[in-house]
Amino acid sequence: MKISQISVYQVTLPLKHPYSHSGGRFYADKLDSTIVAIDTDEGVRGWGEGCPWGSAYSPAFAQGIRAGIKELAPQLIGLDPRRTDSIYRTMDMALVGHLYIKSALDMACWDILGKVTGLPLCELFGGRIDQAIPIETSVPTGTPDEMIESIVRGQEQGNRIHSCKIGSDVVQDIERIKAIVTHLLANESVTFDANGAWLIADALQVMNTVTAPILYFEQPCKTYKECLQVRQLTRHPIILDECIQDYNDVVCAHTDKACEAIKLKVGRVGGLTKAKRIRDFCVETGIRMNIAATGGSVIEDAGVVHLAQSTPATHLRAVCLIDDMITINTAMGGARNQGGKPMHQKE
């Protein structure tokens, strides 16, 4: 089987509700996504998607994906898409770094492998685990009432884990946390995600003021070294997100005891091939994971859900479905939020 053609489509994904990260940064009311179709000489077509959260969130931008695929595609024509590691080595030889560009191509190859073998990707990722996967609510920053309103929408969908964006001001953040924690039900858990907005002193003031057994704090400060210092001076579990760009970052975090969990963003670390390697390392070393896409639609969510479906429940905190956040549908079927769990929607 050989790759015969690679097609690229740009899709604008309007958000249901305008979204901003901590401190009002990274405001977005739509996402710019790239959907890729890989065709083969045997008539099998695979689909992939790549979508950064705008241009200011991480070292990635939407037009970069399309430019990078234009660079990479000629190198892949004629190769066997079922050999996902070999395809990845070819991409890494042709273009150093730029992992987020390679993710959509990698996903389309995995889609072909799944179709050819007749197996869901979760089986190819180590085997399906019969477990319900929790979906987390992604709560944009706002007043305590606005944030609780977002949480209520998530609760109404059945979500029991919520990720709340904070990080604008120490006093306001403490008020937000106290209000939100009071509102949660006994079986719920919450992450407060500063997206790197705090200085070390701010992080310590907030984190060492609030107490509750159900809190995780995510990416308190911008750099890895700052987060590591915060880790050593607080007792809440810490999730590293923006610091985790590739496999070696996770190895380093494990060696330094820098976090208890990571946000495994499949697109950012280079797609399913690389995300699976990180997932396996985390399972071996006791690091818990939130698995998510950086953006995109139900196509990108599909890879996230299959990776989660083959990850032990002990190590999986939640997934985030971007499909919950956008107004349009890019594909039939796929995993949709039903009662706080991703369920396959029949085509």
Stretch that binds Mg ion, among 66-74, 82-90, 95-103, 215-223 (CB under 5 A): 215-223
Q: Cα separation of 215 and 192, whole Å?
A: 7
Q: Cα separation of 333 and 329, whole Å?
A: 10
CB of 290 to Mg ion, least distance (A): 8
Instruction: Write the single-letter amino acid at 299.
Output: I
In this structure, what are the phi and psi dihedrals at residue 87, rounded to the nearest 5 degrees?
A: -60, -45
Nearer to Mg ion, 1 or 215 (CB): 215
Nearer to Mg ion, 241 or 323 (CB): 241
Please enumerate, as own/partner, the contacts of 220-225 that have beta carbons within 8 Å and a separation of 24 or more: 220/194, 220/196, 221/194, 221/196, 222/196, 222/197, 223/196, 224/249, 224/252, 224/253, 224/258
Instruction: Write the single-letter amino acid at 266.
Output: V
CB of 165 to Mg ion, least distance (A): 8
Nearer to Mg ion, 122 or 262 (CB): 262
Instruction: Assess whether 165 carries a catalytic annotation.
Output: yes
Contacts with 122 (C-beta within 8 Å, 6 or more apart), sequence order? 128, 129, 306, 307, 309, 310
Q: 137: buried, middle or exposed (CB in 10 Å: 19+, 13-18, 0-12)?
A: buried
CB of 30 to Mg ion, least distance (A): 20
Closest C-alpha among 139, 60, 79, 99 to residue 266: 99
CA angle 22, 23, 25 (to 5 degrees): 80
CB of 284 to Mg ion, least distance (A): 24
Nearer to Mg ion, 111 or 241 (CB): 241
Within a 10 A sphere around the Cβ of 249, how many other Cβ atoms? 17
Nearer to Mg ion, 106 or 193 (CB): 193
Within a 10 A sphere around the Cβ of 50, how many other Cβ atoms? 33
Decide: is 136 part of the binding site for Mg ion (CB under 5 A).
Answer: no
Stretch that binds Mg ion, among 217-225, 251-259, 290-298, 321-329 (CB under 5 A): 217-225
Q: How many residues bind Mg ion (CB under 5 A)?
A: 3
CB of 298 to Mg ion, least distance (A): 21
Active-site pick, 102, 165, 274, 341: 165
Structure tokens at 62: 């939407």
Nearer to Mg ion, 69 or 325 (CB): 325
CB of 296 to Mg ion, least distance (A): 16
3-class SS of residue 210:
coil
Query: Which residue from 106, 111, 193, 300 is in contact with Mg ion, where contact means CB under 5 A?
Result: 193
Which residue sits closest to Mg ion, CB atoms considered?
241
Stretch that binds Mg ion, among 97-105, 137-145, 237-245, 285-293 (CB under 5 A): 237-245
Q: Cα separation of 334 and 317, whole Å?
A: 21
In this structure, what are the phi and psi dihedrals at residue 160, rounded to the nearest 5 degrees?
A: -120, 0
Stretch that binds Mg ion, among 167-175, 186-194, 254-262, 283-291 (CB under 5 A): 186-194
CB of 319 to Mg ion, least distance (A): 13
Active-site pick, 16, 222, 257, 265: 265
Nearer to Mg ion, 262 or 335 (CB): 262
Query: Which residue from 49, 241, 300, 324 is in contact with Mg ion, where contact means CB under 5 A?
Result: 241
Instruction: Assess whether 274 carries a catalytic annotation.
Output: no
The residues binding Mg ion (CB under 5 A) are 193, 218, 241
- Active-site residues: which are they? 165, 265
